[in-house]
Amino acid sequence: MTDYRGISFWMDSLEEEIVPRPSLPGDVDADVVIVGAGYTGLWTAYYLARHAPSTRVVVVEKEVAGFGASGRNGGWCSALFAASDARLTREFGREAMHAMRRAMNDTVDEVGRVAAAEGIDCHFRKSGTVSVARSAAQEAALRAEVDEARMLGIGEDDLRWVEASEASVLMRATSVRGGTFTPHCAAIHPARLARGLAAVVERQGAQIFEKSEVLEISTGVRPSVFTRHGRVTAGTVVIATEGYTARLAGHGRDMVPLYSMMIATEPLAGEQVKALGDALAAGATFNDGRHMLIYGQVTPDGRLAFGGRGAPYHYNSEIRPEFDRNDAVHSRLPVALSELFPDVFASVGEVRVTHRWGGPIGLHRDWFPSVALDRAAGVAAAGGYVGDGVATTNLAGRTLADLVLGRTTDLTSLPWVGHESPRWEAEPLRFLGINGGLRLMSLADRLEERSGKPSRVASVIGRFTGH
């Protein structure tokens, strides 16, 4: 039996026993069948029940609720959307961009509202995000981000520049030259949210069948989902598999799984937590301006939950349990913490790590998330969050519920609805291109660290990511 507690610190710190729900018992009929019991699928089920309580909803899951990114992520319930404001403006216009931004800002609060209303204790703490600049190149990039926001009509209440004196108080890292602050982020315990949401969905009347891997999806007037234990026939199939989508038959080039890695430290003493900075001690999430993303939060019990990118893409979108650990990335994360916070960690050896884990996130070819319904095929889908899915999945779930129920709302007119991303290249081009892009990000950070100036390589990265 799978050691589900070993998936992440978040799963290991759950108070409940993690026992798989029964598998699909045979052939079942439903109004909506959802593939995947992560945030996207569970939020969709939740809002279907809210708007149409008589809807027969079935959720099928290969493992257990929260097994994927929903139980492994950094716990940033953030208004970040993977496609930049500038890109949204170029492709859809300023009004559509602002509508998307408002929807994402509101979504952060919606997650907190539902958690409180439904009694889900996911440690929701809305204290914003601090991003510090620790080099001239990072300062230039973060200042440019703020300047662009002003040009697009985004005010200081949403994103502001913080001078070095204030930034160093918010986050007491080394070499702080300034930074940015946004209030639109809450730190959460992601597994508590996923598992709590699954329990709520069941109370609403949905059926969740676990250990029920989907082998095939048929489309048409009455589409079906086939597993080894039986099939579910429904009016609509919702594909909510995010980073695992490439494992579904016929979807191998729709989305790629790219791994992100995390660590959790032992609980720090109260004075150590204060030494990290006022904002971090109050629950703000944090990062700096490097290209190879890092991200962190301080948990309520004083641990640093800290992650970073850099793990390679695996040939043919392969996903295996052994890929959840990457020695190179996991060894760099304690080094990064000791460099950021030497007043707390005088050496790498003082970063006492209790948990190491990782997992795949989903990327579309154009790095643009989407939510859509093909009525003729009877199939809806959402995903491609590029690691910014904790809040975006809630917006996706609300939007999918509206689309499936035929409701015309402000959400169904947002610019990501119906967006079609190109398919990824066939192998080996996919393998070479993605891993080449990851190497460019690392190279850009090294060049900027040495020169103190923005690297031309960064512009290549921008084209690669569609920004």
**Last residue of some domain: 361, 389, 423?**
361
Q: How sure is the predictor about 447, in pLDDT bands with cuts at 50, 70 and 90?
A: confident
SS3 241: coil
Instruction: Evaluate whether residue 453 is within a structural domain.
Output: no
Instruction: Evaluate whether residue 103 is within a structural domain.
Output: no
Indicate if the pLDDT at residue 375 is higher than 70: yes
Indicate if the pLDDT at residue 438 is higher than 70: yes
Same-domain status, 170 and 23: no
Indicate if the pLDDT at residue 256 is higher than 60: yes
Contact at 8 Å (CB) between 195 and 14?
yes
Indicate if the pLDDT at residue 210 is higher than 70: yes
SS3 63: coil
What pLDDT sits at residue 291? 83
**Last residue of some domain: 345, 361, 377?**
361
Nearest-CA neighbor of 125 among 75, 172, 80? Answer: 75
CATH of the domain at 207: 3.50.50.60
Number of Cβ within a 10 Å radius of residue 54:
7
Cα angle value 187/398/96 (rounded, 5°) = 90
What pLDDT sits at residue 463? 55
What pLDDT sits at residue 442? 81
Q: How sure is the predictor about 462, in pLDDT bands with cuts at 50, 70 and 90?
A: low
SS3 content of the chain, % helix, strand, coil (to 5): 40, 20, 40
Eight-state DSSP code of residue 125: B
Phi, psi of 319 (to 5 degrees): -130, 120
Same-domain status, 267 and 409: no
Instruction: Evaluate whether residue 447 is within a structural domain.
Output: no
Same-domain status, 170 and 208: no
Contact at 8 Å (CB) between 43 and 54?
no
Same-domain status, 150 and 206: no
Give CA torsion, residues 227, 230, 236, 240, to 10 deg.
Answer: -30
Instruction: Evaluate whether residue 439 is within a structural domain.
Output: no
Same-domain status, 166 and 302: yes
Q: Compute the mean pLDDT over every residue in the chain, rounded to the nearest whole number.
A: 95
Instruction: Evaluate whether residue 229 is within a structural domain.
Output: yes
Instruction: Evaluate whether residue 124 is within a structural domain.
Output: no
What pLDDT sits at residue 460? 60
Indicate if the pLDDT at residue 402 is higher than 80: yes
Number of Cβ within a 10 Å radius of residue 18:
19
What pLDDT sits at residue 444? 76
Indicate if the pLDDT at residue 450 is higher than 80: no
With a CB cutoff of 8 Å and minimum separation 6, the contacts of 199 are: none
Same-domain status, 266 and 141: yes
Same-domain status, 295 and 399: no
CATH of the domain at 262: 3.30.9.10
Tokens of 251: 């979807």
Tokens of 161: 């520049």
Eight-state DSSP code of residue 257: E
Q: How many domains is the chain partitioned into structurally?
A: 2
Instruction: Evaluate whether residue 154 is within a structural domain.
Output: yes
Full-model pTM: 0.96
**Last residue of some domain: 343, 361, 379?**
361
Same-domain status, 279 and 320: yes
Pairing mode, strands 224-227 and 129-133: unpaired
Same-domain status, 354 and 293: yes
Q: How sure is the predictor about 449, in pLDDT bands with cuts at 50, 70 and 90?
A: confident
With a CB cutoff of 8 Å and minimum separation 6, the contacts of 436 are: none
What pLDDT sits at residue 232? 98
Same-domain status, 345 and 281: yes
Instruction: Evaluate whether residue 435 is within a structural domain.
Output: no
Percent of the chain with pLDDT over 70: 96
Same-domain status, 140 and 271: yes
* Conformational region of residue 73, where left means phi above 0, alpha means psi within -120 to 50, and beta covers everything else: beta
Cα angle value 365/368/371 (rounded, 5°) = 110
Domain holding 165, by residue range, is 129-182+257-361
Phi, psi of 258 (to 5 degrees): -115, 130
Mean pLDDT over residues 362-377, rounded? 97
* 160-191 residue pLDDT tens: 999 999 999 999 999 999 999 999 999 999 99
Same-domain status, 154 and 271: yes
